[in-house]
Structure 1
Amino acid sequence: MSKEYYAIIDIGSNTVRLVIYLREKSGRFQEIENVKAVARLRNYLEETNVLNQDGIEVLLKILKSFKEVTDTYDLNQIICVATATIRQAENQQEIISEVEQRIGYNIQTLSEEEEAYYGYLAVVNSTAIEEGITVDIGGGSTEITYFENREIKHSHSFPFGALTLKQMFVKNDVPSEKEMHKVRDYLREQFNSLPWLKSCNVPLIGIGGSARNMVQVDQALKSYPLAGLHQYRMYENDMAFIKNYLLTLSFKKLQKVEGLTKDRADIILPAIEVFHSLYEYVDSSSFILSRKGLRDGIFYEQLTHDFGISVFPNVIEESFNELAVDFDIDYKHVHQVTDIALKLFEEFRMQGVGHVTKADVGLLKRGAFVFNLGEYIDSESSSQHTFYLLANRTIDGLLHQERLKIALIASYKSKPIFKQYLSPYKHWFVKEEQKKLRTLGAMIKLAFSFDSTRRSIVDDLDIDIQDEDINITAYCNQESMPEEYQVEKQKKHLEKALKKKINVVFQPHE
């Protein structure tokens, strides 16, 4: 199959960005090029709302360099979109004509509603959040939406962005506390214009570069051990701490803060104030970063359009289907292992063994689906690869802690190895939860052993739980010697987790 490449150019008020995607065999778009140029086009917008010739030349110079990159690819499609500054420019048509004549790109200027909609679409198709407020701070505008049951209910574009807030309220590179108070009062006034925004008590989902930078600073300050930004969660006290910390720094020191890009140093504090003030106004339950934004929303519209929908029915399911394609997961084997694991799980749950509850069944199923995934890379070090891949790969629909749980379960090899993987994250889980994750991992490992030759020879299990013993009869449709060997070898892990002896008998299924 020939490779399909797509490109999108996003002309914002602060930055202009080119992203090139490769469409993978799973249908997913993988980002392979990401080029950013700081344009600050907002600074070239005159009081008459005309983008001056200096600003147009800055834009043309950037787009000319992007053209040299896009010309090296055989692109299926190239999309060029512009947001607030071009949208608000009185000479918008002249800019579009000059870009088309001199560069060859056809600019599509997004309306406020379209810009907000694409941000919402990116969030609902890359997270499992059912209800929330999205906020995307650009240089010249801020788009917010409210969605419920994953359907958009309200959207609004505020006439301020990180750059305009700086221009309106901040004299120097770093705002004073007094200036920050003025920003806060102004924001409160703006938020008051939307009745549907007050005290929603839902997650606030941040989109865009400022949100990304705030999260990167938070991760750096905490020496965060897990990879990835998408679906990272923060709270009000985290935002307040970062804001107060950055306010103590000189501009020179601010430019060197770990996680903060140098070109955002002068606008990050007004942007954080938007997140913080909105969080308090909404009475939000948490702040979650969406690494996916406007550009992704445009591609999601294209992806889902072929199926006559706009929102994926189940984001987590889509993500696991992508994993199945990327790592050649054997569906027949996975279903057999899952069925056996579920039989063990249900019996243990009914008898109160292993402290598993009905709420854990989803975790068991997902862990079984990707158990031993690292075998795709190397069978000898499969456990290490499984843990690394799952812990450090973004899985749309799963928050970081949920992703880590699945990584710990699916990579289960032994108690010492489990403790080794868990070590940097021990404070994330109470002891009872650590035991439960270990039990689920050992349970799936045993279920895996019952199908070690991938022949689906076990038709049914009969499980009898006594005080000190668990007696399992496995009814088989073929010769079971290889499975008997593996079960006998691996059952000790579940015995240690449950503190019970497991006796297994294999019988032909009549």
Structure 2
Amino acid sequence: MDKHHYAIIDIGSNTVRLVIYLRNKSGRFKEVENVKAVARLRNYLEDTGELNEDGIQNLLKILKSFKEVTDSYQLDQLVCVATATIRQSTNQEEIIARVEEQIGYNMIILSEREEAYYGYLAVVNSTSITDGVTIDIGGGSTEVTYFENRKIQYSHSFPFGALTLKNMFVKGEVPTEHEMKKLSGYLKDQFESLPWLKGRQVPLIGIGGSARNLAQVDQSLKEYPLAGLHQYSIKDHDIQFIKQYLMTLNFKKLQKVEGLSKDRADIILPAIEVFDSLYDIVGAKSFVLSRKGLRDGVFNEQLTTDFGISIFPNVIEESFNELASDFDINYKHVLKATDIAMKITNELQEHGDGDFSFTEEDVSLLKRGAFVYNLGGYIDSESSSQHTFYLLANRTIDGLFHKDRLKVALIASFKSKSIFKQFAHPYKHWFLKDEKKKLRLLGAITKFSFSLDSTRRGIVEDIRVDVQKEELHMQVYCNQESLPEEYQVEKQKKHLEKAIKRNVHVCFQPYEG
């Protein structure tokens, strides 16, 4: 199959970035190149509003280096967008002409409204958050939106960013407490000018490099055990702690903070003050980092229109379909095993005399865990459980928060009680005792259900369960001879027995319709 590559160049006020995507066999897009250059274009903007010659030359130099990268690909399409600094430049027409003439890129200058919209679009297409406030703080502007039921309601672009705020309020390399207090008062006035922000009590979703650095510093300080930043969630007290910690450091030490990019050391504190101030105005429930932002929104809107994509109807479903494609998941086998698992849980709940109860969330977790059960066998069948857990726990799954992703990983990788404990140990403080028991039960049911379809013939038609005090009797009705399944069930049922604390007796019978 021919490879189809697409590129986006994002010319921001602080950084310029090139991202190249590959369209895979399933029609989904994977990032294959991500190149960043620190431009600080905002610093070249004169009082007259012109981007001076040094700034233009700096931009052209960066774009020329990017062109060497893009020329090495046969691109189906390339989009080059610019935001606040170029938008606010009085000589933007000259800049556009020189970029086209010397580099060959047709630069599109995004309006304030477009910039805000693309950030929102990226968030709703990569998270399961239905109501929220997004904030994308760049070098020269800050975009905020509010959405309900995944539909944008309001948007606004403030003509200040991390660089402008630093220049406006901070004289040295690191702000003083007095400077931060003045900045806080200014930001409060700015955000309160938008009545639709106040008291929303929804997640605040941060987009862009400063938000990413805030999350990285938090993960470093906490020695966070999971990989990935997308949908990482922190509370206001975490933001406050990081702000106070960074305020104690001189600039030299600030540049060495784990998780903080050296080129953002001088602007990180003004940016954090923006997040903290807006968190308070919104009355936010949490601060959530979105790795997907402006470029991804532009990509969704401009590069995928041929594929009928604008807003994904179900982000989690899209993510699991991508996993199915990447790891060659057998849909027929998975759906049959899931159907068996659902029959077992329904029977346990109906006939378990109150000993077994499954919430809507439990059922959802069971279905997701079953869908990717033993996915690691794609890498190595002998150690499939370990590979399954590692892949799912440490791979970004759009739509799932980190704790939910970990729950799916524990269910899908279930092999035995001891292995479950081993995998769960680094996260022992994340779950209550009853939560761990429920996850182990869901894992054991999943493993048992797959043993009932071990030959992938789909022979199980129905299941009936009789739950007694010390035993569980299960009638399994099959439409074909079931000897291989009987063998697997006898091997695997001990894990279910330990989870439900009962001996399990399985009787296979012919299905008579």
What TM-score bracket applies, with the shorter chain setting the length? Answer: over 0.9
Matched residue, 2:263? 263
2:407 to 402, 405, 408: 405
Aligned with 1:66: secondary structure? Answer: helix
State the distance in 1 between where 2:304 and 2:446 align: 34
Matched residue, 2:129? 129
Matched residue, 2:185? 185
Aligned with 2:435: secondary structure? Answer: helix
Q: CA deviation at 1:19?
A: 0.9
Matched residue, 2:299? 299
Aligned with 1:284: secondary structure? Answer: coil
Contact 1:14 1:163 in 2 (8 A): yes
Q: CA deviation at 1:353?
A: 3.2
State the distance in 1 between where 2:459 and 2:428 align: 38
Q: Structure 1 stretch 131-140 or stretch 356-365: which is displaced more? A: 356-365
Alignment of 1:16-415 (within 5 A): 16-302=16-302, 305-306=305-306, 308=308, 310-350=310-350, 351=352, 352-415=354-417
Alignment of 1:409-428 (within 5 A): 409-428=411-430
Matched residue, 2:511? 509
The one-letter code of the counterpart of 2:160 is: F
- Label 1:434 to 1:272 Cα distance change in 2 as closer, same or farther (>3 A): same
State the distance in 2 between where 1:393 and 1:42 align: 35
TM-score by length of 1: 0.99
Q: Can you give the 5+ residue segments of structure 2 that lack an aligned partner in the other structure? A: none
Matched residue, 1:458? 460
- Label 1:150 to 1:303 Cα distance change in 2 as closer, same or farther (>3 A): farther
Identity %: 73
Aligned with 2:90: secondary structure? Answer: coil
Residues 178-218 of structure 1 show CA distances to partners (whole Å, capped at 9, x for unaligned) of 00001100001101110101111000000000000000000
State the distance in 1 between where 2:59 and 2:151 align: 36
Contact 2:8 2:299 in 1 (8 A): no
Q: CA deviation at 1:147?
A: 0.3
Off by >4 Å, runs of 4+ in structure 1: none
Contact 2:440 2:499 in 1 (8 A): yes
Equivalent residue pairs, number: 510
Contact 1:191 1:197 in 2 (8 A): yes
Q: Structure 1 stretch 374-383 or stretch 251-260: which is displaced more? A: 374-383
The one-letter code of the counterpart of 1:493 is: H
Q: Can you give the 5+ residue segments of structure 1 that lack an aligned partner in the other structure? A: none
State the distance in 2 between where 1:358 and 1:289 align: 27
1:475 pairs with 2:477? yes
State the distance in 2 between where 1:197 and 1:324 align: 39
The one-letter code of the counterpart of 2:467 is: I
TM-score by length of 2: 0.98
The one-letter code of the counterpart of 2:395 is: R
Q: CA deviation at 1:358?
A: 3.5
Contact 1:201 1:282 in 2 (8 A): yes
Q: Structure 1 stretch 265-274 or stretch 297-306: which is displaced more? A: 297-306
Q: Structure 1 stretch 45-54 or stretch 474-483: which is displaced more? A: 474-483
State the distance in 2 between where 1:358 and 1:95 align: 56
Residues 8-59 of structure 1 show CA distances to partners (whole Å, capped at 9, x for unaligned) of 1100000011111111222222111111111100000000100000100000
Q: CA deviation at 1:468?
A: 1.4
Contact 2:15 2:36 in 1 (8 A): yes
Aligned with 2:8: secondary structure? Answer: strand
- Label 1:475 to 1:272 Cα distance change in 2 as closer, same or farther (>3 A): same
Contact 2:8 2:19 in 1 (8 A): yes
Contact 2:459 2:479 in 1 (8 A): yes
1:446 pairs with 2:448? yes
Residues 50-81 of structure 1 show CA distances to partners (whole Å, capped at 9, x for unaligned) of 00001000001111111111111111111100
Q: CA deviation at 1:466?
A: 1.4
State the distance in 1 between where 2:394 and 2:309 align: 30
Q: CA deviation at 1:304?
A: 5.7
Residues 74-133 of structure 1 show CA distances to partners (whole Å, capped at 9, x for unaligned) of 111111000000000000000010111111111000000000000000000000000000
Aligned with 1:325: secondary structure? Answer: helix
State the distance in 2 between where 1:309 and 1:13 align: 29
The one-letter code of the counterpart of 1:405 is: K
